[in-house]
Structure 1
Amino acid sequence: MTQTFIVSFIGNATPADIHRLTTITHENGGRWLTSKINYLEDRVAALIKVEAPEETTQYIKEAFLAQPNLLTHLTDCENQTEIRNTEYSIRIDANDRAGIVNDITHLLDSQRIRVIDMNCQRIFVSDVNGVNSNLFIAHISIRLPQNLYIHDIVNELKSLSEDTKVMLDK
C-alpha cells in the first residue's frame, strides 16, 4: 500500500540539498509525482507531491522536516481517481491592461475550472517607429470539470478583449 502527501517548503537550500531529498525518497521506495521548485535570489520555494510505501512514508517525511534552513509543511492526500485527459495547458497573449489577471481567474473560477499552475509575464515592446506597448503573456495549466470542453473555454478567454489570443499548448 502506498501513501501520497504534499511537501511545501521555503527557505535556503542548494540544488545539492534538493538532490539529497530526492535520493532519500528514491532509496526508500518513493517517488516525486509532481514538483514545482523555484529559486528567487538565494531563496527556494517548493511544492512536491510524493508517493511512497506506507512503511517508509514517515522516514521520508522526517527527512524533509529535518532540513535546518527550510520551513516545511506536510499535507496528506486522499487517493483520488482523477481523469487525466481533462488537464490542459494554454497560453494567453494580450495587450497588458489593469485587471487582466483578475479577469482571467474570475472567468476560470466561475466555470469551476481548477488552475494547476499559472505563470504570467509582462514584456515591454518598443520598435524603431516609436511604438511602445506592454505585452501580457500567461502560461496556465488547468483541469476542467467533466461537463466542460476546452474549445469553449478558449473561446470565452478570447472574448475578454479584441486583442486576446489563446493557444492550446501541446
Structure 2
Amino acid sequence: MNHLIISFITADRPGIVKVLSDLISEHKANWKKSSLHQMSGVFAGVIEIAVPAESATDLADKLTVLPGFKMQIEHVQQQASTPETLLVLELTANDRAGIVQEISSTIHHHGGNLLKLVSTQESAPHAGHELFKAKVTISADKNNIEPMIDALENLADDLMVDISR
C-alpha cells in the first residue's frame, strides 16, 4: 500500500466529505486519519489514506482536479513509530499574541516533538475576556517530560497545564 497525505481548502458547503470519501472509496483506498475543520467560511483538512500502488497516481490526479478545491498531495512512506513517551496536555490561558510560539518553543527546547495541536478561542465565563485553549499531543524522551511541564507552567501565571499520559 502507498500512503497519500492530502491537504485541502475549499469554500464551505454541504457534501465536501462525501465527495472526498466517494473518490477515495472508488480507488479502494482506506481513510486512515484526518483532521477536518470549518473556519471563517472555508472548510480545510488533512487526510492520510492508504491506497493500492496501482491506484495511487490516478487517485492523486483526480483529487487535484476537483472543482473548487485547492489541493496538495504528498506520496509518503509510512514511518515506524518511535518508542518515545506520548503525552497529552490541555492548556488554558488568557489569549494573547504569541502564545502558540511560546508553547511550541518551550516544547522544542525540551526535546519534545509536537505531534498534534488543536486550539480554540472562547470567552471566559463571567469575565468576558478571551481564553486560549489547546490540546496538544507530544512525543518526548521520558527524562525530558518533567522539565518540559515545569517550563510550560512557568511561561505565565495564567497558563494552566492538565496532563494525561
Question: In the alignment, what sits opposite 1:59?
Answer: 58
Match of 1:161 in 2: 156
Q: 1:93-104 to 2 correspondence within 5 Å?
A: 93-104=92-103
SS of the aligned residue for 2:15 comes to helix
What is the SS of the residue equivalent to 1:140?
Answer: strand
Contact 1:125 1:135 in 2 (8 A): yes
Q: Are 1:78 and 2:74 an aligned pair?
A: no
Could you tell me the percent identity over the aligned residues? 21
Partner of 2:63, secondary structure, is helix
Q: Residues 13, 109 of structure 1: CA spacing in aligned structure 2 closer, same or farther, 3 A cutoff? A: same
Query: Structure 1, unaligned stretches of length 5 or more?
Result: none
Query: Structure 1's 48 and 148: CA in aligned 2 closer, same or farther, altered over 3 A?
Result: farther
- Residues 78, 97 of structure 1: CA spacing in aligned structure 2 closer, same or farther, 3 A cutoff? same
User: Aligned-pair distance for 1:4?
Assistant: 0.8
Using the alignment, how far apart are the partners of 2:154 and 2:80 within structure 1? 33
User: Any stretches of 5+ residues in structure 2 without a counterpart?
Assistant: none
Pair 1:113–1:41, CA change in 2 (3 A): same
The answer on whether the counterparts of 1:154 and 1:167 sit within 8 Å (CA) in structure 2 is: no
Q: CA RMSD in A?
A: 2.7
In 2: Cα distance, 1:169 partner to 1:3 partner: 33
- Residues 138/57 of structure 1: CA separation in 2 closer, same or farther (3 Å cut): same
Aligned residue in 2 for 1:44: 43
Q: How many residue pairs get matched?
A: 165
**Aligned with 1:161: secondary structure?**
coil
Shift in CA distance, 125/76, structure 1 to aligned 2, threshold 3 Å: same
Counterpart CA distance in 2 for 1:167 and 1:38 is 24
Cα distance between partner residues in 1 of 2:128 and 2:73: 46
